[in-house]
């Protein structure tokens, strides 16, 4: 291993990517010098823990979901700004940064999914299904980063920011439309409207994974054909 490893090329083509990049650079230029990328990484993970706590506390009162949404906003701020700050200050640490950033990403989604699964709004198994879909897509992304030197952040115009916004929208629906908590039975399993939404999200993640897996498989097969 050598410290001469270059930062991977980041591929970000999500819906809000252009606007987000400008906003992040604007904020990074105004961050005090005594705050560094590690501080923002910790802040982002703290946001994930706050979000998880908000979901769990929603067992007491649905308005704790605002806390869960606030945690997601805080997570976006820390998670999205840490790398931008390093690039703006020309202080990238390719090896350490890649290791820390993506290790924390896994813990972040784990904490949020566990919290959501322990809320009264979504079945724990459905939350774990979403986590499985995310982790599968993450594995594919990290493999391709190693093989191509390109880190693909978004798929089909959807990236982490867009998914956070979707979850915040769902949280708002949880608060104002309690009808979603009413159960109905599907093949002997009691589900509610938000369980179905969660299953759809997991299904989308699995489809994105499968489509990209097949596309990449065909590309790698041509690059590295069988030897007879």
Q: What is the pLDDT along the chain (228 residues), one digit of tens a residue?
A: 444 455 566 666 677 778 888 888 899 899 999 999 999 999 999 999 999 999 999 999 999 999 999 999 999 999 888 888 988 888 888 888 888 988 999 999 999 999 999 998 888 999 999 999 999 998 998 888 888 877 777 676 777 888 899 899 989 988 887 655 556 666 666 677 788 888 888 998 999 999 989 998 999 888 888 887
**pLDDT at site 10:** 65
Using CB atoms within 10 Å of the CB of residue 38, give its burial: 0 to 12 exposed, 13 to 18 middle, 19+ buried.
Answer: middle
> Model's pTM, two decimal places?
0.85
Instruction: Please check whether residue 3 lies inside any domain of the structure.
Output: no
Instruction: Please check whether residue 224 lies inside any domain of the structure.
Output: no
Distance CA 70, CA 64 (A): 10
Domain around 105: 9-218
Instruction: Please check whether residue 4 lies inside any domain of the structure.
Output: no
**pLDDT at site 187:** 62
**Straight-line distance from the first to the last Cα atom of the chain, in angstroms, rounded to the nearest whole number:** 33
User: Domain with 201 in it: what CATH number?
Assistant: 1.20.120.1760
Instruction: Please check whether residue 228 lies inside any domain of the structure.
Output: no
**pLDDT at site 2:** 45
Instruction: Please check whether residue 36 lies inside any domain of the structure.
Output: yes
Distance CA 62, CA 101 (A): 32
Instruction: Please check whether residue 2 lies inside any domain of the structure.
Output: no
DSSP code, position 118: T
Overall number of domains in the chain: 1
**pLDDT at site 3:** 47
């Amino acid at each position: 291993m050598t410290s001469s490893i270059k930062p991977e090329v980041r591929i970000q083509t999500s819906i809000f990517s252009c606007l987000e990049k400008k906003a992040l650079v604007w904020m990074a230029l105004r961050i005090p010098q005594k705050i560094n990328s590690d501080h923002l990484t910790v802040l982002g993970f703290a946001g994930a823990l706050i979000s998880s706590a908000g979901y769990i506390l929603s067992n007491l009162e649905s308005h704790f979901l605002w806390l869960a949404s606030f945690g997601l906003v805080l997570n976006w701020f820390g998670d999205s700004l840490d790398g931008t700050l390093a690039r703006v200050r020309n202080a990238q640490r390719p090896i350490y940064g890649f290791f820390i950033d993506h290790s924390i990403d896994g813990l972040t989604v784990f904490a949020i999914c566990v919290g959501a699964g322990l809320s009264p709004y979504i079945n724990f198994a459905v939350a774990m299904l979403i986590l499985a879909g995310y982790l599968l897509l993450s594995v594919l992304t990290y493999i391709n980063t190693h093989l191509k030197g390109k880190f693909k952040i978004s798929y089909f115009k959807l990236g982490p920011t867009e998914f956070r916004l979707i979850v915040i929208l769902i949280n708002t629906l949880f608060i104002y439309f309690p009808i979603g908590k009413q159960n109905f039975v599907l093949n002997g399993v009691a589900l509610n409207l938000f369980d179905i939404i969660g299953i759809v999200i997991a299904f989308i993640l699995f489809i994105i994974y499968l489509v990209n897996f097949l596309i990449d498989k065909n590309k790698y097969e041509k690059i590295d054909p069988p030897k007879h």
